[in-house]
Amino acid sequence: MFARLKRGLDTWWQGRHRPAEQWHLSQRNIYIVPTRAGLFFGVTLMVLLIASINYQLNLGYALTFLLAGSALASMHMTHNSLRGLTLHARPPSPVFAGDRATLEVVVTNPGAARHGLGFGVVVSGAPAQLAFAEIGAAGQSPVAIGVLADKRGLQSLPLLKIETRFPFGLFRAWSLWRPAGQLCVYPRPEQPAAALPAAAATAGGPVPARGAQGGEFDGLRPWRRGDTLRQVAWKKVARSGELISREGRESARQELWLDWAATRQPETEARLSRLAAWVLLAERQGLAYGLRLPGLELPPSSGAPHRHATLSALAAWR
């Protein structure tokens, strides 16, 4: 019962923080409380004060008020370590399910250098694991935060915490921010990968021109996506201004279709996992491949943009 109530409170608390493109730290969104060491320090001050009153110790009064003044000064220093900073997050790179994504937060500091700042992800029911950084004066400093991508899909960026206990550890100041944006998490590839479906030769083969032997090129054709830089006829490009590729008898491209029905898996996640493994395997073999899902078809191609498009389609599949 208590655990369920705590989860409900955590969900309500995190839901109050709406996504924002950037986060400016000010008195309105910085919280500060004494740490455990700060509470013991306060108890010690009370004992010193009572002893000084009972025994009329002038040096005891001086020590008590000196320490109390130092604690108040440290409270302002702890709060000022965060005040005035501006945070914004760069778009994270896609990852596979089960891997850790890297979220880069750029901290803009208009004032003096800031020390002992911790950055981390807020996880319900567990303390945040903080990565500490020093922020230089009058400039921008990037901070990398690890985010566990436990399931596939387009996920909202998690709630982040920035915290400091500088300089004496008597007070803890923090702020919470949910960056606007999404993290694309690809399906986890099947391990080991199943064999690829049979590939077919590309329609419209090479156009014979002059004879060639071995690996020499023997034809020219318009450039197609997936052609390597070695295949581009740069002299022809310089003359005509259009991309033209060389093609030989041995360079006929093979393309294949990665079909939902060809996976022969009973569960949706298993099908997506096998398709993701096929995408990576086709890329490694330099094949032109297309993707067929129920209600969605991506034409055959190759290269990094096509790889991202096919894996993103698998990630967003419902």
The Cα–Cα gap between 291 and 297 comes to 6
Backbone φ and ψ for 80, nearest 5 degrees, come out as: -70, -15
Token reading at 143: 């901070």
Distance of CA 230 to the CA centre of its chain: 34
Q: DSSP assignment of 216-235, as one string?
A: ----EEE--TT--GGGB-HH
Q: What letter does residue 23 receive in the DSSP assignment?
A: E
The Cα–Cα gap between 15 and 172 comes to 23
Give the pLDDT band (50/70/90) at residue 208.
very low
186 pLDDT above the threshold of 50? yes
More confident residue, 220 or 219: 220
Check if the beta carbon of residue 197 is closer than 8 Å to that of residue 259. yes
At 220 the pLDDT is: 77
At 236 the pLDDT is: 75
Q: Which residues in 11-152 belong to E strands, given as ranges?
A: 22-24, 31-34, 86-89, 95-96, 100-109, 114-121, 131-135, 139-148
Token reading at 14: 């995190």
The Cα–Cα gap between 277 and 299 comes to 18
At 201 the pLDDT is: 59
The Cα–Cα gap between 230 and 217 comes to 10
In which order are the strands placed within the sheet that holds 139-148?
A: 22-24, 86-89, 100-109, 139-148
Within 8 A by CB and 6+ apart from 215, the residues are 248, 250
The Cα–Cα gap between 190 and 137 comes to 47
Identity at 75, one-letter amino acid code: M
Q: What digits encode the pLDDT tens for the residues 44-66?
A: 999 999 999 999 999 999 999 99
Token reading at 250: 């041995």
Query: What is the pTM assigned to this prediction?
Result: 0.76
Percentages helix, strand, coil for the chain, rounded to the nearest 5? Answer: 30, 30, 35
Q: What digits encode the pLDDT tens for the residues 86-114?
A: 999 999 999 999 999 999 999 999 999 99
Question: Across-strand partners of 155?
Answer: 183
Q: Work out the widest C-alpha separation in the chain, in whole angstroms.
A: 110
